[in-house]
Amino acid sequence: MFRRRMRAAFRRMLEDSQLFQLAIQMELRALRAEMAARTPDNPALKGFKAYSQFDEDGVIEEIFGRIGGGATFLEIGCGDGLENNTHYLLLKGWRGMWVDASSANIERARANLPQTVSLDIVQQLIDLANVNELGRRYLSQFGQVDFLSIDIDGNDLHILKAVLKVLRPSVICAEYAAKLRPPIAETVEYDPVRAWTGDDYHGASLQAYAVALPDYRLVACNLCGANAFFVRNELAHHFVSYSIVELYQPARFHLCPLKVGHPPSYKFLVAALKARHSPAR
């Protein structure tokens, strides 16, 4: 136990060090230069981090900047809301639903954020038996969804395919198993109580997503190799068509400790939600 604590403490010290953060920034500049040379229209070139895990905030902003619109979201696997793909969207005036299986995550989000019609915070382990009900609940509150994000470390593709029978998002962000390069198309066997065991058996490969989503086109993968972005085919003309091989990014999870400014808090979001729903004076 003592050794594990020491290793964890050392890792935190390393990630907090200026030299470590400088090394990440230097690697990112080199990766973006390489990406710009190979796929100059790639939305991932516009990636930045505000409240996302890595650079997803910027990729999402770039995609919706091209296709227009965007006001509603559903995030399945939202965590506690401090670091996810839709915190930043809420700050920009979007509305939607956060869903997470962890009672601790949801309790923390509910304890820190005001209850408003802009955000429904749901504690539920999503499986094939209840995902349609979740979709109908979403429709009744928010109408059709513009942006769908899913990151549940297991049955991601199974749940995504099921929810698409109810919802029709313009853009999908899904975590993929980056170790499995195209053209390998693999997904985990469905298990309603699946939990990630910390190894590489999770989710689905990028090729598996592309095969399973005929109504969508892959337009980007973020530089750390965690998330893939798909847009509906009728919106795909806003993007240069690159192959899956060209857009695939390998696992670079060592980049995820990237720090941007001070540690995140709920405070700006609390103020924004209160201001949005306070009675006019």
The per-residue pLDDT for 222 is 97
Amino acid letter, 168? R
Whole-structure pTM value: 0.92
Task: Please check the confidence at residue 277 and state whether its pLDDT lies above 80.
Answer: no
Residue 58: closest CA among 82, 32, 33, 39: 32
Cα 172 from Cα 170, distance rounded (Å): 7
Average pLDDT, the chain: 93
pLDDT in tens, 40-55: 999 999 999 999 999 9
Residue 224: closest CA among 52, 36, 18, 17: 52
Mean per-residue pLDDT, 159-172: 97
Task: Please check the confidence at residue 252 and state whether its pLDDT lies above 50.
Answer: yes
Task: Please check the confidence at residue 119 and state whether its pLDDT lies above 50.
Answer: yes
Classified by CATH at the fold level, domain 43-277 comes out as Rossmann fold (3.40.50)
Range with lowest mean pLDDT among 57-61, 119-123, 196-200: 196-200
Cα 30 from Cα 242, distance rounded (Å): 21
Task: Please check the confidence at residue 10 and state whether its pLDDT lies above 60.
Answer: no
pLDDT in tens, 133-146: 999 999 999 999 99
Per the structure block, which two tokens stand in for 141? 């509150």
The domains of the chain are located at 1-38, 43-277
Mean per-residue pLDDT, 154-170: 97
pLDDT in tens, 189-209: 999 888 888 899 999 999 999
Mean per-residue pLDDT, 55-65: 98
